[in-house]
Amino acid sequence: MPTSSTPFPVRNQWDPSAEARARTAVVVLPGRGETTRSYRRLGARLAYDTLAVTVLEPTADEADIPGVAEQIAAGVAAAGHDHLVLVGHDAGANLALRLADPLGERLTALVLSSPGRRALPAPVDWAAELELRAGCPGYTGQLDADPGVSRGTLVDPPAVAPPDDPSALAAIQAPVLLLTGDQDPIPDRELLRRLRTRLPRVTSVEVRGGRRDVLNDRTSRSVSGEIVRFVEWARSGDLEGPLLRHLAPTPFTTAPPADPPTTG
């Protein structure tokens, strides 16, 4: 497990401007093959909305889970943040689900991007893997140029599996934002069904045109905006209704307004 002189085993951090106090810590948990550098764009966008973002090194073994939970809790306490949000992708989403129990009430919300245990049925070359991951040339170019990215990892099951026990899902009280792409090449449909039916507070969002890496695909601006909206709602403490309500449009009419009633 990576070590650091700071409470977080961190390589990349994004903080809001000095004028803004960050009330919320967002800890990003990468997926298979990714590095902390894979989340530069997401980190910068969330920090612009006064969220303090930390991207952890990928967790390679389920035995590391208690230590990761301890380091996250220590990092949030040391920074004095009021809220903690985990954002996990792929294997990182599985890890986020597993961290919900040890973090308990310290956890304000979970954001799960493409969770699951499925792998590609056969190896593909790197160009094909990039096409399966995302349709954003900027992001796939970044992956291609990053020497730390592990190529070919989508053919292997994730190192950390999601919880098998349905009661573990039912015990997660923090609200959950579940993000999936409608063009994901390896969706774990059975797990997604269980998450949508077992989690007490789940908001499920499907990204149109999204492939595997929906946090970094062509619609990354919309996805990061959805995360910000969800975090604001979760930390409000009032989970009975949305912060923003979409009102039905008033039917247009060309009839003149009615005359005001006369008096006397």
pLDDT in tens, 80-120: 999 999 999 999 999 999 999 999 999 999 999 999 999 99
Q: pLDDT per residue over 224-235, tens digit each?
A: 999 999 999 999
Inform me whether the pLDDT recorded for 13 exceeds 60.
Answer: yes
Task: Return the pLDDT at 222.
Answer: 96
Task: Return the pLDDT at 257.
Answer: 67
Task: Return the pLDDT at 9.
Answer: 46
Please tell me the least confidently modeled range out of 28-32, 73-77, 105-109, 182-186. 73-77
Cα–Cα distance list, 177 to 12, 20, 174, 201 (Å)? 23, 25, 10, 9
- Looking at every residue in the chain, the average pLDDT score rounds to 89
Inform me whether the pLDDT recorded for 8 exceeds 70.
Answer: no
Scanning 11-88, the segments in alpha helix (DSSP H) are 40-48, 65-79
Scanning 57-187, the segments in alpha helix (DSSP H) are 65-79, 91-103, 126-133, 137-145, 166-170
Task: Return the pLDDT at 66.
Answer: 92
What mean pLDDT comes out for the span 197-216?
96
- Looking at residue 59, its amino acid is T
Percent of the chain having pLDDT more than 70?
91
Task: Return the pLDDT at 58.
Answer: 85
What mean pLDDT comes out for the span 7-28?
71
Q: How confident is the model at residue 7 (pLDDT cuts 50, 70, 90)?
A: very low
* Residue 36 and residue 57 in contact, taking contact as beta carbons nearer than 8 Å: yes
Task: Return the pLDDT at 1.
Answer: 34
* Residue 173 and residue 200 in contact, taking contact as beta carbons nearer than 8 Å: yes
Task: Return the pLDDT at 61.
Answer: 83
Percent of the chain having pLDDT more than 90?
75
Task: Return the pLDDT at 17.
Answer: 67
Report the distance separating Cα 171 and Cα 165, nearest Å.
10
Task: Return the pLDDT at 164.
Answer: 87
Inform me whether the pLDDT recorded for 67 exceeds 80.
Answer: yes
Inform me whether the pLDDT recorded for 240 exceeds 70.
Answer: yes
Task: Return the pLDDT at 156.
Answer: 95
